[in-house]
A and B are shown apart, each in its own frame.
Chain A
Amino acid sequence: MNRIGVFVCHCGTNIASTVDVKAVAEALSHERGVVISQDYQYMCSESGQNLVKNAIKEHNLTGVVICSCSPRMHENTFRKACSEAGLNPYLVEIANIREQCSWIHKDITTATEKAVILGRTAIAKVTLNTPLTSMESPVVKRALVIGGGIAGIQSALDIAEAGFEVDIVEKEPTIGGKMAQIDKTFPTLDCAACILTPKMVEASQNENINIYSFSEVSDVKGFVGNFTVKIKRKARYVDETKCTGCGLCTEKCPMKKVPNEFNAGLDNRTAIYIPFAQAVPKIATIDPNYCMMLKNGKCGVCSKVCTAGAVDYKQKDEFIEKKYGAIVVATGYNPISPEKFDEYAYSQCPDVVTSLELERLMNAAGPNGGTLLRPSDKKHPEKIVFIQCVGSRCDDDRGKPYCSKICCMYTAKHAMLIREKYPDTEVYVFYIDVRTPGKNFDEFYRRAVEQYNVHYIKGMVGKVTPKANGKIEVQGSDMLADEQLRIDADLVVLAMAIEPDKSARPLATMLTTQMDTNDFFTEAHPKLRPVESATAGIFLSGVCQGPKDIPETVAQASAAAAKAIGLLCKNSITCNPCVAHSDELMCNGCSACEKVCPYGAITYENKEFRMPDRTVAVRRVASVNPAVCQGCGACTVACPSGAMDLNGFSNSQIMAEVDAICK
C-alpha cells in the first residue's frame, strides 16, 4: 500500500507568484496513495526538510514527492533528508515546478494546472519507485601502466611515489620509448638522454615499480578497481634473472647485419642485442628473425660466451595474470611512413631522411658518432632543406587530417643545432605556417630565424629529385615572394606526421575505451576530464590521447597518475544504483544489449533453468556489472524481450509518467 507525501515549495515568491501552491497541494492530496500534501515557504531550508522528515515518521511514508525547483538543484538534498528519516533515498521524486513552470509561465491558472500535472506525474512515478542501495566495490591497490615511454615512466613514478605498486608493460626490450631516440629537446636544447635515463633508472630501482619489458597486454577483464589483465611476456631467449647486461654476446654474435631500430635503421646491430647502452632493463634479447641458432640450429656462439649461462634458445612466450585497480594507457606514437609520398623521393634517395632519422644522425650515440654526415657518401651536407607537414594537416588518405603539433618546434631545433655546429651550412625550411604556442616557443623559433639565419620559406614543396651529381633538387614555391624555387640540396629532411601506435586500437577494444577515427584515445570530456577515458578506471597519458610534446606529455602523465592515485586511495567505490539489470527469465542471450553498451558492462553466462516440466535447460543470459554500468539505458531499448530494465528509470515508471502527462 502506497503512502505518499507531497510537499509543495513556494520558493519564496519564485514559485508562489505564478503557481497557486495551495491549490496544487490541495489537488494533489486527492491523488491515489497520497496521505499528506503540504505547502511550505522554503522546502530546502532546514525547517522545510524537517517538515518532510517528520511527515515520513508520522505517516510512515513509502514515497515522497517534492514539488520545487529542478532535481538538478536539490534532488540530493531531499534524498539525504529522507534517508536521515529512515526512508530509502531513491523513494523521492522531484516535480520541477520552478524552472519548468513558474519561471516560464505568466498566467496563474495555466501555470497552476501544469504544476498539478507535473506533480501528478511525479506521484505516478514514485508509486513505482523501488528502494535502491548503492553497491560497494573493492579497489585493488595496484596500477598498470601500458607503455614505458616518458609518459608511462612519469605516470608510474608518480603512482609509485604515492605508495602504490605499479607494473609497466613495455612491448620493446627496453623502456624509454621515443624520447630515448631523440638527441636534444626544445626549447632548452638539453640532451634528451641526460634527462630521460635517470628517470629510467629511477623507475627500475623504485621498489614499487615492476617493469615487464618485451611484454604485451593480451587480455583485459573486469572493471574499475578490479581489472584482471593477462600479460604476454614474449620470449627473449635470455633469462632475465641471469643476464648481467655485460654485452659480450652482442660483440661476439656473428650475425651483424640486422637493421638497428634504435638508430632508425641507419646502421646495423647483431641478432642478440641490447637496444642502447642505457637500456632498462639492461638485458640482451635475441631477435628470432635473424638468429642463426633459432632459425636453423647452427651457431650457439652467444650461449658459449655467456658466463652467466643466461641464453636459453628454448624459451617460450609466457602469460601471467594480475589484478589492477587502475590502468594508465601510455602507448605513444610513431611517425608515419614516408613511402606513400612519392614526390619527396624518400624511397629513391638515402639522403632524404625523416626527422627521427636526423635525430639519430646528429646523436653522439648514433651511427656517425654525432657528426652530421649524409647517409649516402658520408660527406658533410652543405645545404639542407626541411619540409614541414609531410602527412600532417593532409586532406587525402596518405596522411592525417590533424596537426602533429611537435614538428614546427623540433625542426626549428634541428635547424638551430645545425647552424650552431656547422655555421657554413645553409638551412631552408618549407612550411605552411609555423605554430609555436607554448612557453618560450616563439622566442625559440625567432632565434632560429633571426640569430641563426635559417631560411624559412612559406610554401609547399612540389617535387624532390635526386640528381646524378649527388645533389637533390627541391622544387618549391615561395608564396610570400610569389616565385618558384629550385634548391640543390645535399640533405632533405621530412617532418613526418605522427600517428598513434598500432597496438592502440586492439588495446582499446580490450579496455572497452573509445577511440576517434585517427585512433587516438577519446577522453571522457574534452575540457573537464582530459586525462580520463570514458571507461571508469582507465586513464590516458601522453600522445595516445593526442599529439603533444615532452613537457605536455609529462604534465598529462602526472595528471593521469593523480587520477589513478585518487582511485587507488579508496578502499572501495560506491556505485550509482541507477543501473541496468537483466531479468534472466526473459533474457534471450542475443547480445543486442552488449553491442550498444559503451562501457562493456554486460557479460553473458550459461545458466541452468528449471523448466515447468521439471527438466533443466541451459540458457545464455546477460548479466550487468553494476560497478561498470553508468545507467544510460541504451541496452534497455536494444533488448527485444524487455528483459533489460533500468533502476530509477524503469519501463513501467516512464510509462506511468507518460500516462500521467497524457491523461
Chain B
Amino acid sequence: MQVNDSKNFEPVIAAFCCNWCSYAGADLSGTNRLSYPTNVKIIRVPCSCRVNPMFILRAFQRGADGVIICGCHPGDCHYTSGNYFTRRRITLLYSMLDFLGIERNRTRLEWVSAAEGAKFASVMEQFTEDVRKLGPNRRLEDLRCRKK
C-alpha cells in the first residue's frame, strides 16, 4: 500500500462551481491566463445549493483528496437565497467530517464572484497546496475498517 509519498503525490481535487459566479470566475482566470494547478477539475452546477453532501462524500470515496465548493458571495446568489442554504448545509457537513476525524483542510467552501478570476486562481493554488501537504486521502476511504 502506498504511504504518504509527498514527493510524487499529486492530489485529485474536485471543485464544484456555481454556473453564475465561480464558474465564470474560473473562466475569467483562464481569460487572464492566471494559472492554477492542473489537479483541480471543475464540475459545473447551477448553484452551490445543488451540491448534495452525497456528491462530496462520493468524491472522497472515489479517490478525491480534497473537495472545494465555490458559490456566489452571500447576498449575490443568482437564485437569491441558494448559497445561504449551501452555507448551512456545508458548515454542518464539514463539521461532521471533522468530528469523524477527517482532516479539516480537505474540505473548503469559498465565495468567488464572476469578477474574481485572480481570487479563483489563488484559492485553488492554496487549496491544492494544503491538500498536497496532507497527502493522500486515506481516512475517509478507511472509515469503515479495511481490517489490517
Contact = CB atoms under 8 A, between A and B. Distances in A.
Given A72-B27, A104-B121, A649 B79 contact: no
Given A72-B23, A118-B41, A598-B80, A634 B35 contact: no
A646 B46 contact: yes
Interface string B106-133: 0000000000000001000000000000
B112 to A, nearest CB: 14
A26 interface: no
A586 B12 CA distance: 34
A636 B46 contact: no
B6 interface: no
Given A100-B26, A634-B47, A651 B52 contact: yes
B79 A662 contact: no
B63 to A, nearest CB: 4
A659 B64 CA distance: 9
Contacts of B68: none
A578 interface: yes
B85 A578 contact: no
Contacts of A658: 14, 43, 55, 58-59, 62, 64
A301 interface: no
Interface in A509-543: 514, 522, 534
A110 interface: yes
A633 interface: yes
Contacts of B4: none
A632 B48 CA distance: 8
A100 B45 contact: no
Q: Which of A106, A636, A654, A659 has the most CB of B within 10 A?
A: A654
B82 interface: yes
A114 B38 contact: yes
A96 interface: yes
Interface in A60-98: 70-72, 96, 98
A610 interface: no
Nearest to A104: B35
Nearest to B26: A100
A556 interface: no
**Interface residues on chain B, size class:** 35 or more
A86 B21 CA distance: 33
B97 interface: no
A651 to B, nearest CB: 7
Interface residues of A, number: 46
A114 B46 contact: no
A662 B35 contact: no
B43 A662 contact: no
A285 interface: no
B30 A98 contact: yes
B70 interface: no
B147 to A, nearest CB: 24
Interface string A130-150: 000000000000000000000
A176 B79 CA distance: 35
Contacts of B30: 70, 98-101, 103-104
B32 to A, nearest CB: 9
A634 B82 contact: yes
Nearest to B53: A637
Interface string B5-44: 0000000101000010001101111110111101001111
B91 interface: no
Contact of B85 (A118, A596, A659): A596
Nearest to B52: A637
Contact of A99 (B12, B26, B45, B50): B26
Contact of A655 (B31, B55, B63): B55
Interface string A641-663: 00000101101001101110111
Contacts of A98: 30
Contact of A578 (B14, B46, B82): B46
Contact of A103 (B33, B42, B53, B82): B33
B29 A104 contact: yes
Given A598-B79, A637-B51, A658-B14, A105 B58 contact: no
A219 interface: no
Contacts of B63: 662-663
B45 A104 contact: no
B89 A637 contact: yes
Given A598-B82, A651-B52, A661-B12, A631 B46 contact: yes
Contacts of B53: 637
Given A100-B26, A104-B121, A598-B82, A646 B55 contact: no
Given A662-B14, A662-B64, A121 B27 contact: no
Nearest to A661: B41
Contacts of B95: none
A104 B49 CA distance: 27
Contacts of B34: 104
Nearest to B67: A658
A658 B55 CA distance: 7
Contacts of A661: 12, 14, 41, 43, 59, 64
Interface string B131-143: 0000000000000
A662 B85 contact: no
Given A72-B24, A632-B49, A113 B14 contact: no
A117 B43 CA distance: 12
| Most chain A CB within a 10 A radius of its CB, from B31, B38, B52 | B38
Nearest to A113: B38
Contacts of B41: 114, 117-118, 121, 661
26 contacts: A70-B23, A72-B19, A98-B30, A99-B31, A101-B38, A103-B33, A104-B121, A113-B38, A114-B41, A117-B41, A534-B79, A596-B81, A598-B81, A598-B82, A631-B46, A633-B46, A633-B47, A634-B85, A646-B46, A654-B43, A654-B55, A655-B55, A655-B58, A657-B43, A661-B12, A661-B41
The 4 closest A-B pairs by CB, nearest first: A99-B30, A633-B50, A632-B79, A662-B62
Given A100-B27, A637-B53, 10 more contacts: A70-B27, A70-B30, A104-B121, A117-B41, A514-B81, A637-B89, A658-B59, A658-B62, A659-B62, A661-B12
